Structure 1
Amino acid sequence: MQLNKFPIERAKKTLEEIQNIPEHEYAEYQRKRKNAIIDYHIQHNDFYREFFNWDGFDDWQHVPIMKKSDLQHPLKDRLSSTYNTKTAYIGKTSGSSGHPFIFAKNRFAHALSWAGFQDRYRWYHIDLNKSLQARFYGIPLDFYGNVQERLKDRISLRRRFNIFDLSEKKMEDFLERFKKSDFNYLNGYTSAIVLFARFLKDKNLILKELCPSLNICIVTSERLFEKDQQLIEDALGVPVINEYGASEVGLIAFEDAENHWIVNSEDLYIEILDENDHILPYGEEGRVVITSLYNKAHPMIRYDIGDIGCLSKKSTLKKPILEKLIGRTNDIARLPDGKVVPGLTFYYVTKTIIEDNGHIKEFVIIQTEMDEFKIEYVSKQEFSEEQRAKILDAIGTYVGENLKINFERKDILKRSRSGKLKQFISHLK
């Protein structure tokens, strides 16, 4: 980052200063930062001034909510007048929610995000300048993007495992790399690591015994279920830590040694809102809305990231705790009788039954019509009639009656361009 003129040392110093602010002064720190970032964009960003419909600022709750669809305009129209594409960091979201867009951060804001990652990783004795990472991520497939990403991996001590091919033969290759390398930690998409853990379990192997330097596994970008966490920990022989972040805002929450998801309150301000945009108290579920307190290049102010979550009643302003991350707001199934069901309900129902059979590798649920769903799965053999009957019975009990369920066995499941596997997909408009 220093080579690319990101002020990482200044960012680390600022982070330390923020962390030293006493709890009783933290509300004032947040108030000043929220007002400062609003004032900056009102003065220097035509897009945000028009979006806000500015006529004076008197109450934070009057600040409009930004959705991803609001940001799907050319980046040049959304940049602050004080920055351009050469002086700011430019990134792109993966579009896992169906709304990809290009965004910008000023260099200090981006450096502050990375200072936050460095700080959290040190909780587990990971030094981003020294620790070798086994990286289970996707990678750009175009020549320039691919070369650029691999160069960044080399400099950042990351060794990438291509998760676009998760065949058994490819995972044999993964295993050989672990045997020959001194990886300190594994980081990547949950679904890919779960699949690798199943591969190890089937072979009665524990990765830590084959790669003794491995100390921890960090999963990100996709939801981690309790059974999957146990599977990974058993197969890898190291603890599994949850990371919650997004490219456009950086680190959102990170799991500590006591299994609490500690929310990043240093350079982000997190709110939980109901469907009417009212702020919910700790303990209630709602939409996760995020303000980037230092991003002057591009407004990320009261930005609805598309997730549903809940902050613990034990939270404080300085140390918010993410109690639950329920899923994405678009991960819901709508039934003919008007019932709305979280897509995860199907996942829990089928997963419980499918895990009785060790042959099932992974699966997704797809809603094709109001009353029709498809279960695509990767397995060594077809579902038996008994398995199908159990799944249909469970769906009738927990989801709804008279639904058509189609089963389709596949050799490989389709992932997004970034390599993520979406567990529930609705094709309804």
Structure 2
Amino acid sequence: MLNILDLLKFQGYPIEAAQKELATLQSYSKDQFEDWRTKKGWETAKFHYEHNPLYKKLVGKHFPNRWEDLPIVKKKDVQVDFSEKLSQGISKKDLHFGNTSGSSGIPLKFAKDKFCHSMTWALIVDRYQRIGFSQNDFQARFYGIPLGFPQYHKERLKDKLMNRYRFIVFDFSDQNMEFYIQNFKTKKFIYTYGYTNSQLYFARYLQKKGIVLKDICPTLKGTIVTSEQCTEEDKVFLEAQFGLPVYNEYGASELEFLAMTDLEGKRRLSSETVITEVADENNQILNPEKGGNLIFTNIYNRAMPFIRYEVGDLGAFKRDRNSIQDELTQLNGRLNDTIVLPSGRNASGFCLYYISKHLNTKLGTLQEYQVRQTKRDTFEVDLVLSRELDQNTILTINEAFDQYVEKGLHIVIKKVDRINREKSGKLKHFLSLLEEPNS
């Protein structure tokens, strides 16, 4: 059986050196670690200023003396050709290339040096081991897959080699849900992994059938949710219906594996590889516990300048005096999920979560939803319901929009059998279809 570390070593990634580096960092006291990380951050920033023309252009003629005077790098800044954004002096054979799904906008092609990518995987293995999972454990994977040839077969081969079984998340028919159940009855999975909303949909189907997942697959030890927002209510429901502890993973593929829930339920930041900050809309640094735009610096990546990079998420974190890993306390959706209202007020798309929570409390029948803003005063709401759409439901939805968004909006409500997902398989709860967001 081949695991990801074996594959990376075969491809020339210095995994063992990265694991040794990680162990050294974790042996430091809090003060020692903070001193080291500050120096490492400056070292990486200065490297890019001297070797990356794009970053030097962003910084300007003079390299600042204060960290907060370094520019905040946005995705649009690095959405240029590789010829413009790769650091000089690094051979392509020493680079790892990838691209984002584009779920939050335009896809981004990125690069990391191989040691940086090795540090990412050393960190992932470390965090999984802390919650009792290994790279060889049999994984039930709720994920999308490229449907074209040969990418589809390449992913299927990787699944087989890496001891994971993929439940493709494009079909949520009852027939396919029964297929899921039969596989859990016959296969000895150790943990489930994948998109939050896909696992939630399966959990709701199990609830309808009166099945707890652990009862039909007793080898299961836990669930990892990733890629999509998982609220505390979602977590509680999944834990009850799966009969398993739920761990929340957070990352940005271009940047880093950013945080992971530990056994105490705290979502620990990847402090060994990133510097985390919180800023307001004017790029002013805030008290991290109050929350704002999350800003991350990958202190190992020398291929591209992800220095004070605005990842596009809103959140908050708390410094831990007793651990080198600080705690991510809030993750509240994306910066570009902005609702523009007739009154001129803007609201975060995350407020729609409170609408869904309100509807579930009142109705108890909402399975999935998607909201599309087509005009400043018009929203289309698609609902997957376990019963018919009646006047009480319509009234409840309108009341929720009045309470959590703004009064006087035109709400178009439809019951649908399924909600279309993105090519990756992710479910986006809010889509703005306004041609000009500020018009």
User: TM-score by structure 1 length?
Assistant: 0.95
Q: Is the 8 A contact 2:277 2:288 kept in 1?
A: no
Residue 106 (structure 1) aligned with residue 131 (structure 2): no
CA distance in 1 between partners of 2:322 and 2:338 (Å): 31
CA distance in 1 between partners of 2:161 and 2:47 (Å): 35
In structure 1, what is the equivalent of residue 384 of structure 2? 378
Residue 327 (structure 1) aligned with residue 333 (structure 2): yes
Q: Is the 8 A contact 2:358 2:400 kept in 1?
A: no
In structure 1, what is the equivalent of residue 352 of structure 2? 346
- 1:315 Cα deviation from its structure 2 partner: 6.2
Residue 238 (structure 1) aligned with residue 262 (structure 2): no
- 1:358 Cα deviation from its structure 2 partner: 5.2
In structure 1, what is the equivalent of residue 4 of structure 2? none
Aligned partner of 1:154: which letter?
Answer: K
Aligned partner of 1:220: which letter?
Answer: T
In structure 2, what is the equivalent of residue 68 of structure 1? 75
**Percent identical residues:** 37
Residue 172 (structure 1) aligned with residue 187 (structure 2): no
Report SS of the residue matched to 1:29.
helix
Residue 366 (structure 1) aligned with residue 369 (structure 2): no
In structure 2, what is the equivalent of residue 142 of structure 1? 148
- 1:313 Cα deviation from its structure 2 partner: 5.9
- 1:380 Cα deviation from its structure 2 partner: 4.3
Report SS of the residue matched to 1:160.
strand
CA distance in 2 between partners of 1:225 and 1:349 (Å): 13
CA distance in 2 between partners of 1:352 and 1:400 (Å): 15
Residue 23 (structure 1) aligned with residue 30 (structure 2): yes
CA distance in 2 between partners of 1:316 and 1:68 (Å): 34
CA distance in 2 between partners of 1:20 and 1:194 (Å): 38
State which of 164, 169, 189 in structure 2 corresponds to 1:158: 164
State which of 202, 224, 227 in structure 1 corresponds to 2:208: 202
Report SS of the residue matched to 2:406.
coil
CA distance in 1 between partners of 2:55 and 2:355 (Å): 44
Consecutive unaligned residues in structure 1, runs of 5 or more: none
Aligned partner of 1:203: which letter?
Answer: K
CA distance in 1 between partners of 2:395 and 2:71 (Å): 48
In structure 1, what is the equivalent of residue 272 of structure 2? 266
Query: How does 1:280-359 map onto structure 2 within 5 Å?
Result: 280-312=286-318, 314=320, 318-354=324-360, 356-357=362-363, 359=365
Aligned partner of 2:14: which letter?
Answer: P
Aligned partner of 1:160: which letter?
Answer: R
Residue 275 (structure 1) aligned with residue 281 (structure 2): yes
CA distance in 2 between partners of 1:315 and 1:330 (Å): 33
In structure 1, what is the equivalent of residue 84 of structure 2? 77
Aligned partner of 1:237: which letter?
Answer: G
Could you report, residue by residue, the CA deviation over 1:4-33 in whole angstroms, capped at 9, with x for unpaired residues? 111111111100111111111223211211
In structure 1, what is the equivalent of residue 411 of structure 2? 405
- 1:82 Cα deviation from its structure 2 partner: 2.6
- 1:371 Cα deviation from its structure 2 partner: 0.9
State which of 3, 10, 13 in structure 2 corresponds to 1:3: 10
Could you report, residue by residue, the CA deviation over 1:188-231 in whole angstroms, capped at 9, with x for unpaired residues? 00000000000111100111111111000000111112222222
- 1:356 Cα deviation from its structure 2 partner: 4.8
Report SS of the residue matched to 2:150.
helix
- 1:352 Cα deviation from its structure 2 partner: 2.4
User: TM-score by structure 2 length?
Assistant: 0.93
Residue 50 (structure 1) aligned with residue 75 (structure 2): no
CA distance in 1 between partners of 2:313 and 2:180 (Å): 32
Could you report, residue by residue, the CA deviation over 1:84-132 in whole angstroms, capped at 9, with x for unpaired residues? 544311111111211311101111110100111111111121011x211
Q: Is the 8 A contact 2:292 2:314 kept in 1?
A: yes
Report SS of the residue matched to 2:140.
strand
State which of 209, 228, 231 in structure 2 corresponds to 1:222: 228
State which of 247, 251, 257 in structure 1 corresponds to 2:253: 247
In structure 1, what is the equivalent of residue 134 of structure 2? 127
In structure 1, what is the equivalent of residue 219 of structure 2? 213
- 1:341 Cα deviation from its structure 2 partner: 2.0
Q: Is the 8 A contact 2:72 2:309 kept in 1?
A: yes
RMSD of Structure 2 on Structure 1 (CA): 1.7
Change (3 A) 1:54 1:384: same
Q: Is the 8 A contact 1:282 1:315 kept in 2?
A: no
CA distance in 2 between partners of 1:312 and 1:181 (Å): 40
Give the stretch that moved more between structures: 85-94 or 211-220.
Answer: 85-94
Q: Is the 8 A contact 1:198 1:361 kept in 2?
A: yes
Aligned partner of 2:77: which letter?
Answer: D
CA distance in 2 between partners of 1:282 and 1:414 (Å): 36
Residue 13 (structure 1) aligned with residue 23 (structure 2): no
Aligned partner of 1:83: which letter?
Answer: I
Aligned partner of 1:127: which letter?
Answer: S
In structure 1, what is the equivalent of residue 41 of structure 2? 34
Report SS of the residue matched to 2:372.
strand
Aligned partner of 1:344: which letter?
Answer: F
CA distance in 1 between partners of 2:86 and 2:172 (Å): 39
CA distance in 2 between partners of 1:97 and 1:316 (Å): 35
- 1:312 Cα deviation from its structure 2 partner: 2.4
Aligned partner of 1:405: which letter?
Answer: I
Aligned partner of 2:120: which letter?
Answer: S
- 1:156 Cα deviation from its structure 2 partner: 2.2
Report SS of the residue matched to 1:143.
coil
CA distance in 2 between partners of 1:339 and 1:365 (Å): 18
Report SS of the residue matched to 1:2.
helix
Change (3 A) 1:177 1:388: same
Q: Is the 8 A contact 1:68 1:99 kept in 2?
A: no
Aligned partner of 1:301: which letter?
Answer: I
Q: Is the 8 A contact 1:135 1:160 kept in 2?
A: yes
Aligned partner of 1:80: which letter?
Answer: S
Q: Is the 8 A contact 1:26 1:317 kept in 2?
A: no
- 1:318 Cα deviation from its structure 2 partner: 2.5
Aligned partner of 1:64: which letter?
Answer: P
Give the stretch that moved more between structures: 188-197 or 394-403.
Answer: 394-403
- 1:294 Cα deviation from its structure 2 partner: 0.6
